[in-house]
Amino acid sequence: MFKTRLLSALVAVFALVGCNPPLPGGGEDARSDLQRLTTPAPAGDVEATVRGLNDFTFSLNKRITKPTENFIVSPVSINTALGMASAGAAGTTLDAFRSTLRVNISQGDFHGAMNTLDRELSSRGQGAQGTEGRPFKLSIVNQTFSQTGYKLERSYLDLLAQQYGTGLKLVDFEKQTEAARLTINDFVAVHTSNLIPELLKRGTVTGDTRVVLANAVYFNASWASPFEKTATRPANFTLLSGNTVLVDTLNDSVHSARAATVGGVEVVELPYQKDEVSMLILMPAAGDLASLESSLDNAKLDSFLSALTPQQLDFSMPKFKIDSPSDLSEPLKEEGLAVAFGGDADFSGMTGTRELSISGVLHQAVIKVTEEGTEAAGATAVVFGVTSVPVTRPVKIDRPFMYLIRDRATGTILFMGHVVDPR
């Protein structure tokens, strides 16, 4: 049986820009007592938000993808991190976030749409199966970690509580930096089934750190049409160089799926149980992977999706495992977020002052596809620091291809990447 489990974790770290002492008030007093809002945002706001974020995802992917290497990224993690960070931005810094994330509705409506989207995704797969006998699960959990005695704006904490469901945990970055780092790593590990045990490496947080925003996304699901382990066998896979290698390949001689061929691109959508989430495989003609990635946008994705029809396939795809770290700092600056990294950064919506700026954004994602299932993990760190039927046709995925794991109802992209060498 071919099943899948994917997960992602995300963390944003904030530190004082200068040497100002902690503001009075204390974290305890700043806690929000407000509950998460459950009234759905207007469907139009959610649709506009998803399309904007997907547009940002495709643009960012062009900057960070590694054309000659296997690659994976978790857009939903990156987008959630930046969404929470944008809630504390003001002035031109907020303008930069809105431009980068392609937000074309009011900021309040944007956070409301993010809340609704988060809760919709977490409702997927009711009654469906996951891997290893567990039920289907797609969960998104947020948490705020703050320096004891450091004052955060109540309005900021209220927004995070109501729209992102995040609570507040006090730690001591100044005097117990290592303990604080381990506390955050423990949170991420728990909410990613221990697949990301050390998101924050030594040195990621320092005595100057004041706030960490953490998000963990966990996905565990079975294919709607399972693959048989006994059908796996070696098959040729053509590399970018044109050379062929033998790789273990999953096979199903009569596989039900939605498929199409669009402009020379083989498109296959493999649904998970309940048909709410699916993996979309895009295999272009030999030598055209880079061209496909550079041209992929909302319109092209729409053309692929609209062409899909239910088909019976003689289907095969390779087993693969990918671990792909990415430094997003420079790409995000190129996307229009440079002001958030410098001395002109304005996160006064978070603290009431302009003493925070981003010092780095790091991301890592892992995916493993086997006969038994798929495991994937993604982690992001946004660091704020010193201002600095009978078979109708065969479909063999036997050359470099892209893949997207997406929520079908909203179009949200959970994971995306490409495979150039399944070995």
CATH code of the domain occupying 3-222+322-384: 3.30.497.10
Q: What is the pLDDT of residue 32?
A: 83
Strand order in the sheet with 374-384: 167-171, 137-147, 209-222, 3-15, 374-384, 358-369, 320-327
Is the pTM higher than 0.85? The answer reads yes
Q: Give the separation between CA 172 and CA 101, rounded to whole angstroms.
A: 32
Pairing of strands 393-396, 309-318: parallel
pLDDT given for residue 373 in this prediction: 56
Task: Please report how the helices 91-100 and 107-122 are oriented relative to each other, as an axis angle in degrees rounded to 10.
Answer: 50
Q: Which CATH superfamily is domain 229-319+391-419 in?
A: Alpha-1-antitrypsin, domain 1 (2.30.39.10)
Q: In this predicted structure, what is the pLDDT of residue 1? A: 36
Give ranges for CATH 2.30.39.10 in the chain: 229-319+391-419
* β-pair partners for 265: 262
Task: Report how far residue 2's alpha carbon sits from residue 224's, in angstroms, rounded to the nearest whole number.
Answer: 9
Q: What is the pLDDT of residues 28-61, one digit of tens each?
A: 435 688 999 999 999 999 999 999 999 999 999 9
Answer yes or no: are the C-beta atoms of 248 and 318 closer than 8 Å.
yes
> Cα separation of 120 and 138, whole Å?
10
CB count in 10 Å sphere of residue 266: 18
Query: Which residues of the chain, if any, have pLDDT below 50?
Result: 1-29, 386-389
- What pLDDT does 389 receive? 47
Q: How many CB atoms lie within 10 A of CB 15?
A: 23
* pLDDT for position 107: 97
Where do the CATH 3.30.497.10 domains begin and end in the chain? 3-222+322-384
CA distance 41 to 163: 11
pLDDT value, residue 394: 84
**How high is the pLDDT of residue 23?**
32
Query: Which residue has 């729409």 as its token pair?
Result: 302
The string of pLDDT tens digits covering residues 394-408 is: 889 899 999 998 999
Compute, in degrees rounded to 10, the torsion defined by CA atoms 26, 93, 365, 184.
-10
